[in-house]
A and B are shown apart, each in its own frame.
Chain A
Amino acid sequence: MSEKTIAGVQVKVSDDGYLEDMTQWNEEIAKEIAKEIGIELTPKHFELINYLREKTIAKEALTIRSVGKSGIVDVKGLYELFPKGPLKFSSKIAGIPKPTSCI
């Protein structure tokens, strides 16, 4: 764990770069992490990010299958929003812990 300044805010991040405390998150931080990964965030991205955050607060396990049934995007759409890291990149940008799901 280390401290890092993202978008002018001092936040705690894991060794993999995931926010340790999801309450430290804001949209500017999301944009900055996304930029590092190489993703430009659209309103659709934010809709999904907010969904992921809500589910994390509700302590529901996230899988690409469950996100694909969220009504926001299907699995293909999820890959289009977050290429090469549908759960990992989206979780990192959403400021939630690294996903532990295999599916």
Chain B
Amino acid sequence: MEIKEKKPLEKVCLICAKGSLEDVYASLVMANGAVMEGIETNVFFTFFGLDGITKKSMNHLHTATTGNPAMRMPGGLPFPTMLGGLPGVESAVSGMMRKQMDELGMPPVDEFLEMITAGGGTIYACKLAVDMFKLKKEDLSDEVKDIITIGEFYELCDGDRTQIIFT
């Protein structure tokens, strides 16, 4: 007999290791989505992903305008790589992208982090990366609960209905 018992996810642990606009938002959308579904949620920011929880940078994240084959001009024409390398282009394109996201009702990073913790999700920073970038707890968003090692993060990932997602 076929067993059809559903085993819903109980816990989602996300690791955000990259600091581009799309990578950080991918983690935030998945984390917030999990919290909204009533799933226990832990997010671990490491390496360049720390930009997503660093007060100074979190609301000014960039998307790469070079080395990004999916980049398009407004209207859909290909975006020349040479153009993407000019000073100020990445900044302008990223600003436009953030504006479009805002129009869709996507919150800025600081507010997104607040939404995740408001629902009971927990945000962590990687100790090794924090030390490497010479950051301090006060440089990070107030929503960051703690600076922990990867070992400690794995301890939080226990349970047989837990998934770890790396972005």
**Which residues of chain A have a CB within 8 Å of any CB of chain B?**
61, 63-66, 68, 74-76, 79, 83-88, 102-103
Contacts of A61 in B (CB 8 A): 105
Query: Which listed residue (A75, A83, A85) contacts B115, Cβ 8 A?
Result: A75
With contacts A61-B105, A63-B105, A103-B106 known, is A88 near B36, CB below 8 A? yes
With contacts A65-B105, A103-B29, A103-B32 known, is A84 near B38, CB below 8 A? yes
Distance from A39 Cβ to chain B, minimum over Cβ atoms (Å): 13
A85 to B114, CA, bound (A): 17
Contact B37 A85 (CB under 8 A): yes
With contacts A75-B114, A88-B36 known, is A103 near B119, CB below 8 A? no
Contacts of B119 in A (CB 8 A): 64, 75-76, 79, 86
Q: Which 4 A-B pairs have the closest CB atoms?
A: A84-B38, A76-B118, A75-B118, A79-B119
Contact A79 B118 (CB under 8 A): yes
Contact A86 B105 (CB under 8 A): no
A103 to B108, CA, bound (A): 12
Q: Does B33 contact A (CB under 8 A)?
A: yes
B13-64 interface (Cβ within 8 A of A): 29, 32-33, 36-38
Please report whether the interface of chain A is mostly helix, strand, loop or mixed according to DSSP: loop
Report the nearest B residue to A86, measured CB to CB.
Answer: B36
A5 to B135, CA, bound (A): 59
B117-134 interface (Cβ within 8 A of A): 118-120
Type the 1/0 row for B95-125, where 1 means its CB is closer than 8 Å to any CB of A: 0000000000111000100110011100000
Contacts of A75 in B (CB 8 A): 114-115, 118-119
Distance from B93 Cβ to chain A, minimum over Cβ atoms (Å): 23
Contacts of A102 in B (CB 8 A): 29, 33
With contacts A74-B118, A102-B29 known, is A64 near B36, CB below 8 A? yes
Distance from A65 Cβ to chain B, minimum over Cβ atoms (Å): 6
A84 to B114, CA, bound (A): 16
Contacts of A64 in B (CB 8 A): 36, 115, 119
A84 to B39, CA, bound (A): 7
A83 to B120, CA, bound (A): 10
With contacts A68-B115, A75-B115, A79-B118 known, is A103 near B107, CB below 8 A? yes
A64 to B107, CA, bound (A): 11
A76 to B119, CA, bound (A): 6
Report the nearest A residue to B111, measured CB to CB.
Answer: A65
A21 to B49, CA, bound (A): 45
9 additional A-B pairs beyond A85-B36, A103-B115, beta carbons within 8 Å, are: A61-B105, A65-B105, A68-B115, A75-B114, A76-B118, A76-B119, A79-B119, A85-B37, A88-B37
